[in-house]
Amino acid sequence: MAVICCALLASSCSTPSLRVRTVYSDGRVSEEIVPLRCCRSHLEYRLSSSGLAGIDTLTVVPDFARAVEGDEGFFMNSQGHITYFLPGRRDTTVWLYQRHPIALEGIKTPSGCYAAVFQSYRWNLRSRIDVRGGEYVQSFDYILRDTAPSEDLVLQYWPLKGADASYSGIARLYRRLFVENNPEMVPLRERVKSRPLLKYALESPEIRIRQAWKPLPTPVPHQTRENEPPVRVKVTFNRVCDIVDALAEAGVDSAQLTLVGWNLKGHDGRYPTVFPPEPGLGGEADLKHLISYAQGKGFQIVPHICTGDAYKVSEDWDPADIAKLPSGELDSSYVYGSGRMFKICPEVSYRKYVQKINDSLRVYGFRGIEYNDVYSIVAPVTCCDPAHPLDFAAAARYDRLILKDGSDKIGGIGSEGGYDHVAPVLDFCLYASVGGLTKLAFDKLRDAHVPVWHIIYNGYIYSCPFSEVVNYSTKVPDISMKMQEYGCHPTFYFHAAHRDDAKNWIGNHQTDLYCGTQEELEQSVKAIRQGYDYLREYGYIQYLLPQNKG
């Protein structure tokens, strides 16, 4: 790789440059052409931390990130969406992610193929594509107005040629850089040698069972103990024992069961309060019996928890726990089953809640790959509270500490998505890419989805690629074909579609798993058996590190 890059740089390093537009906090605007610095194997734009003071927005446009309609090549964003240079598009601007799941985007134009790697300020970076008069341009905006500069701004462009001049070559380059910079990244094939619980989970279907929840969308956005909606109890602890028996009878002799909504008041019921287990499901005694029963039958069983969210209806509600915005307001951007959801400062969560919760879960007997919701599907939560301030880097460290605590005490850790600031401690992603099969839109310049995350992390983190692939064996054949393409871990969900509106992101009621009747249970187990059989034949794909063909 280095030899190829050096040869390319030696021939062209005098020409590549960026157009840099700077908008200052006082309203001044400047524009300049800045040559990229030639390093050993890449091109680099660097602006010192002192030079960032007083900047509101910094826009950079590489001269090689331009193409005209009909050109071969593409722009690739950090979610794996590909924009081809197709003719006939109206003039448009599409703003892409400001919070990048991986610190990477890709460019392939007649001027060359490059991996754009964000070495700093990735959480402040918003990418966009402009189409004007048949010309396509990719650029980046660094939004710095609420950021205290703490490090140099570094943007790298790594040139790629030959077989590497492709989206897969871009992904493989990023994987090499990430692994080199994170020595904790050990391939799954090595980790399982000393971690039997991980090996078991990796080679067994994941079965998530949503047991109880409040109505969604909620009719009560501001909940108190007096107006709190009743919990919908769907799968009691004793009924999960029946699921265990049905699996065993169908020849599914290994599976990891993840209990969702087992906690007080069901899914997201009264976070950060977790205990006691929801009485309507059978309470603590029945839960402990279930854990022992499942393990006695040879199954792993783990809890779904969420230690980053808080609701005012909680017994533990304390506004001092909540992350603060620069304005001083409490950080909240979502309404879920328990009403307005607030974000707990990661430092507070780790020190006040996480360790105690995991200690209790371990005493209950849970063992396997614990699931802690949300942490890998959003950017780190910053906090402007003077009592516990966190910038992005500090928040990312606490995210890793939170997940590692669960891993150390329960046996491993999974979360919701593919944001790779937690990759060094993560074992499993429920859905690695939130923008998948059904998210393509011609008018939004999304022409295809490619498995960029999976090329990078397959063999290091096992995953279900998108929410659409959950319960794959109940869906159309095209979904099943994606299993092998994306190295998917067979993942199943009882009551996946739990919302009362059309916003269920995992599936719909026709593709769901149920166990209300014996017939429903048998049909669900039949679907799971397909995933069990798939792993016997194709589970080895999860251990592979994608390479060039030929």
Residue 209 pairs with which residues in a beta bridge?
259, 494
Residue 8 region by backbone torsions, left for phi larger than 0, else alpha for psi between -120 and 50, else beta: alpha
pLDDT at residue 353, rounded to an integer? 98
> What does the alpha-carbon distance between residue 102 and residue 172 come to, in Å, rounded to a whole number?
13
Give, for 335, the enclosing helix (H) or strand (E): strand 334-336
Helix (H, G, I), strand (E, B) or coil at 302: strand
Residue 531: φ, ψ to 5° = -70, -40
What mean pLDDT is predicted for residues 263-292?
98
211-220: pLDDT as tens digits: 999 999 999 9
Residue of 444 and 8 predicted with greater confidence: 444
Sheet of strand 153-160, all strands in order from the earlier edge strand to the far edge: 37-38, 43-47, 153-160, 112-118, 104-109, 74-76, 81-83, 448-449
The separation between CA 335 and the C-alpha centre of its own chain, rounded to angstroms, equals 20
pLDDT at position 438 is 62
pLDDT of residue 85: 97
Strands (DSSP E) along 391-467, which ranges? 413-415, 428-429, 448-449, 462-463
Selected residue with higher pLDDT from 425 and 148: 425
The stretch 308-314 carries a mean pLDDT of 97
Reported confidence tier of residue 10, pLDDT bands at 50, 70, 90: very low
Find where tokens 């064996």 sit. Answer: 473
What single-letter amino acid sits at 544? L
pLDDT at 457 over 80: yes
Query: Alpha-carbon distance 549 to 152, whole Å?
Result: 38
| Structure confidence at residue 387 (pLDDT) | 97
Q: What is the pLDDT of residue 6?
A: 45
Average pLDDT over residues 20-32: 96
Q: Name the more confident of 550 and 324.
A: 324
pLDDT at 13: 47
What's the rounded Cα separation, in Å, for the pair 41 and 160?
A: 10
- Asked if pLDDT for residue 437 goes beyond 70, the answer is no
With the C-alpha atoms ordered 35, 36, 40, 42, is the resulting torsion angle positive or negative? negative
Whole-number Å distance between alpha carbons of 516 and 241:
13
pLDDT band at 550 (very low <50, low <70, confident <90, very high): very low
Are the CB atoms for 388 and 348 separated by under 8 Å? Answer: yes
Question: So what's the pLDDT on residue 111?
Answer: 95
Listed residue (174, 11, 12, 188) closest to 78, CA to CA: 174
Q: Answer yes or no: are the C-beta atoms of 345 and 321 closer than 8 Å.
A: yes
439 pLDDT above the threshold of 70:
no
Of the candidate ranges 255-264, 393-402, 476-485, the one whose mean pLDDT is the lowest: 476-485
Stretch 516-532: mean pLDDT, rounded?
98
For the chain, counts of helices (H) and of strands (E): 12, 28
Write down the pLDDT at residue 409.
98
Q: Averaged over 526-533, what is the pLDDT?
A: 98
Which pLDDT band holds residue 440 (cuts at 50, 70, 90)?
low
Per-residue pLDDT band for 549 (boundaries 50, 70, 90) equals low
Per cent of the chain over pLDDT 70 is: 95
- d(Cα 14, Cα 178) in Å, to the nearest integer? 28
Q: Are 381 and 396 in contact (CB under 8 A)?
A: no
What is the chain's length? 550
pLDDT-based confidence at 11, cuts 50/70/90?
very low
The β-bridge relationship of strands 135-143 and 55-62 is antiparallel
Tokens of 75: 């722009």
CB 375, CB 404: distance < 8 Å: no
Contacts of 230 (CB under 8 A, 6+ apart): 214
Minimum mean pLDDT range among 289-293, 409-413, 501-505? 501-505
Average pLDDT, the chain: 93
Position 546 scores a pLDDT of 86
- pLDDT of amino acid 528: 98
Mean pLDDT of all residues in 407-426? 97
| φ, ψ of residue 288 in degrees (nearest 5) | -65, -35
Cβ neighbors of 453 (< 8 A, separation 6 or more) are 80, 101, 102, 171, 418, 432, 433
Write out the two tokens for 434.
Answer: 């939130």
Q: At residue 47, what is the residue type?
A: L
pLDDT tens digit sequence for 43-99: 999 999 999 999 999 999 999 999 999 999 999 999 899 999 999 998 988 877 667
Sequence-distant (6+) residues with CB within 8 A of 502 are none
Contact 373, 306 (CB under 8 A): yes
Residue 35 pLDDT exceeds 70 = yes
Residue 190: CB atoms within 10 A of its CB come to: 10
The mean pLDDT of 396-416, rounded to a whole number, is: 98
Helical packing angle, 477-485 and 518-538, nearest 10°: 40
The answer on pLDDT for 12 being more than 60 is no
pLDDT, position 506: 85
Q: Which residues pair with 341 in a beta bridge?
A: 334
Confidence of residue 3 (pLDDT cuts 50, 70, 90): very low
